[in-house]
């Protein structure tokens, strides 16, 4: 299995690490640490040196309860970072649910559209169809401001899988090549603790849907609940454990804050499998 993202192509025989760069003052995990273009770019270079093959740049916090950020402000935050990193030859993903932001970042050299709203907007779908970028379809029940109020599922793994397959099929129908598509079950986005646990346990099922599967468990509240660690930045070990478990079950893209420890854990997994 391979994942084609504009001028990049990833051989997914081994998992690929996607390093997270939040250019936000209010991210749940590291708000404000990399909120200037210079610090964000320096951090991205560090993540690449530690083993990241992709840099995911986001300018809007989508933590539970977060309000929606205006697209012009989001673009002010992310565009200089995307432009600089792409000019340096890095594979850059833009993490956004706003088509104007994604369009400008694609023009600046972004190679992946990571849409946390799961390609609900026709304009986002058209951007995917009109480019050669890789796409990440994420499942989210509701909106960030209200998604954790009362999420409901009959069978969360089956329902999330059905949504991801439906959206993937829709994108293929409008001209997005299947080898450009990656799917993400969206842990923490409209899911309770038990829903998240079922999704992690169901990684193998989701990995067998025919598209590369992303595991994006890093520093999430679910990891804090399991580990008893309150501060997101201190959930490094729990996050690495979830990432490695997901990789052992077939996840091919690991979206993480802490690249170096995850890369080390992956080397152990690869040595024994």
CB 24 within 8 A of CB 31: yes
- CATH number for the region 14-61+72-272 comes to 3.20.20.20
Q: Is the pLDDT of residue 190 over 80?
A: yes
Average pLDDT over residues 260-271: 96
Residue 252 has a pLDDT of 98
User: What's the pLDDT tens digit per position in 232-265?
Assistant: 999 999 999 999 999 999 999 999 999 999 999 9
- The residues annotated as belonging to the active site are 220, 255
Residue 150 per-residue DSSP state:
S
With 0.75 as the threshold, say if the pTM is over it.
Answer: yes
Instruction: Tell me the CA distances in angstroms from 174 to 7, 167, 180, one per residue in order.
Output: 21, 11, 13
Locate the domains of the chain by residue range.
Answer: 14-61+72-272
Say if residue 31's pLDDT is above 80: no
Half-sphere exposure of 209 (CA within 13 A, CB side): 30
Strand segments, DSSP code E, in the chain are 2-5, 8-11, 16-22, 54-58, 92-95, 112-115, 134-138, 181-184, 214-215, 253-256
Computed over its alpha carbons, how large is the radius of gyration of the chain?
A: 17
Q: How far is CA 202 from the centre of its chain?
A: 18
Is residue 21 classed exposed, middle or buried when 0-12, 13-18 and 19+ CB atoms within 10 A define those classes? buried
């Amino acid at each position: 299995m391979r994942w084609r993202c504009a001028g990049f192509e990833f051989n997914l025989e081994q998992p690929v690490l996607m390093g997270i760069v939040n250019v936000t003052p209010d991210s749940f995990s590291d708000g404000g640490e990399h909120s200037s273009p210079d610090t964000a770019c320096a951090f991205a270079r560090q993540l690449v040196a530690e083993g990241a093959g992709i840099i995911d740049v986001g300018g809007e916090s989508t933590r539970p309860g977060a309000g929606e950020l205006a697209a012009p402000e989001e673009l002010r935050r992310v565009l200089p970072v995307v432009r600089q990193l792409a000019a340096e030859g890095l594979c850059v993903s833009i993490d956004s649910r706003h088509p104007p932001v994604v369009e400008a970042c694609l023009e600046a050299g972004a190679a992946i559209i990571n849409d946390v709203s799961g390609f609900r907007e026709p304009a986002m779908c058209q951007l995917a169809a009109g480019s050669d970028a890789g796409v990440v379809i994420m499942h989210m029940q509701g909106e960030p401001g209200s998604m954790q109020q009362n999420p409901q599922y009959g069978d969360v793994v089956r329902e999330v899988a059905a949504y991801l397959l439906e959206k993937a099929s829709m994108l293929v129908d409008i001209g997005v090549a299947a080898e450009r598509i990656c799917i993400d079950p969206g842990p923490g986005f409209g899911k309770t603790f038990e829903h998240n646990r079922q999704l992690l346990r169901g990684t193998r099922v989701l990995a067998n849907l025919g598209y590369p599967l992303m595991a994006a468990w890093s520093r999430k509240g679910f990891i804090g609940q399991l580990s008893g660690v309150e501060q997101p930045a201190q959930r490094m070990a729990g996050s690495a454990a979830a990432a490695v478990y997901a990789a052992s079950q077939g996840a091919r893209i690991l979206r993480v804050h802490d690249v170096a420890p995850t890369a080390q854990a992956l080397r152990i997994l690869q040595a024994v499998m």
